Amino acid sequence: MIQFKKINALQSYLNQQRMNGKKIGFVPTMGALHAGHISLLETARKACDLLVCSIFVNPTQFNDPKDFEKYPITLDTDIKLLASANTDILFLPNVTELYPEGTAQLEKYPLDFLEQILEGEFRPGHFQGVCQVMKRLLDAVEPEKLFMGQKDYQQCMVVQRLLDITGKRIELITCPTIREPDGLAMSSRNRRLSPEAREKAIGIYKTLEYINANLKKGHLDSLLKEAHTLLEKTGFQIEYITLANAKSLEIRNEWDGSSEMVCLIAAFLDGVRLIDNMVISK
Ligand code: AMP
């Protein structure tokens, strides 16, 4: 595995590989890698000739500075995991490399309602930060295919919007959420849960399953209320439990019985903010 810290050096190498006909697949991450990240790498490995992974904890997407400070960093272990997943290139830029002009005044992207709902509502500026870093990473790597996790459902939609806005002809491949054996979605933030909280954390998945099992045509208010009660009982402080159209992410208070729906949850447990979602299967 070759490591690059500088955009120029990375680009010269990739240009050469591209001229040799290599198709580039890209998995951007913030490190503290787990089996969820590895599954993206495995999918990408099969679908491309040259596998690039980036590790960069992007300051511009953290609306809460404390969350940024506490973000886990496990670079040595990450490098070993990446090498055993047959990653060809690790891109490890620092803040100055990606934001040479600083981060105070950055461009804004027209994300419309996507940044006003759910994560956009509760984490103001978060998706602008995601777009700012993704634009820079994609300019540097210029992959054919980009692999991201369904775990961050809204983020996938935002990044697709970014690809559309910037006219980048990159195929976004959304990979399924990898879960712990008890159902908890894998996340770098899970490391911050105390053993007691870790046991309770399964509550989010249980709530998603409850909604999946009980969704019926018509008004959704009482189902969502029951789900709130269920999750609150396990000790979570809920930000949202929402049902939306799975394709457009438009929030729904009623279900027509046929359109594909997704349930999305964000909630705090023990001071750790967890998110998860489930596409409803009927
Ligand atoms: P992060 O390092 O949290 O920015 O995540 C990097 C990529 O891994 C994103 O595309 C995430 O959606 C994806 N990812 C994170 N957790 C999981 C998971 N449990 N299953 C599948 N993909 C995941």
Give average pLDDT by consecutive 10-residue segment, the chain, 282 residues: 98 98 98 98 98 98 92 96 98 98 97 97 98 98 98 98 98 98 96 96 98 97 98 97 98 96 97 97 77
Q: For residue 280, what are the contacts with CB-CB under 8 A and spacing of at least 6?
A: 211, 212, 215, 243, 246, 260, 261, 262, 263
Pocket test for ligand 1, best of 26, 33, 39, 40 (most atoms within 8 A of CB): 40
| 177 CB near ligand 1 (under 6 Å) | yes
| 129 CB near ligand 1 (under 6 Å) | no
Q: Model pTM greater than 0.75?
A: yes
Report the separation in Å between the CA atom of 238 and the middle of ligand 1, taken as the mean of its atom positions.
21
Burial of 106-132, coded b for 16+ CB within 10 Å and e otherwise, reads: beebebeebbebbbbeebeebbbbbbb
What is the model's pLDDT at position 176?
98
In a 10 Å sphere around its CB, with 0-12 CB exposed, 13-18 middle and 19+ buried, how is residue 247 labelled? exposed
What is the model's pLDDT at position 1?
98
Nearest CA to ligand 1 atom 14: 149
Positive or negative torsion for Cα 85, 90, 94, 98: negative
| 149 CB near ligand 1 (under 6 Å) | yes
The structural domains of the chain, ordered by start, are: 2-175 (3.40.50.620), 188-276 (3.30.1300.10)
* Segment holding 25, helix H or strand E: strand 24-29
Could you list the active site residues?
37
Query: Side chain identity at 20, as an amino acid letter?
Result: N
Q: For residue 101, what are the contacts with CB-CB under 8 A and spacing of at least 6?
A: none
| 184 CB near ligand 1 (under 6 Å) | no
Nearest CA to ligand 1 atom 13: 149
Nearest CA to ligand 1 atom 19: 186
Nearest CA to ligand 1 atom 18: 36
What is the model's pLDDT at position 281?
81
| 30 CB near ligand 1 (under 6 Å) | yes
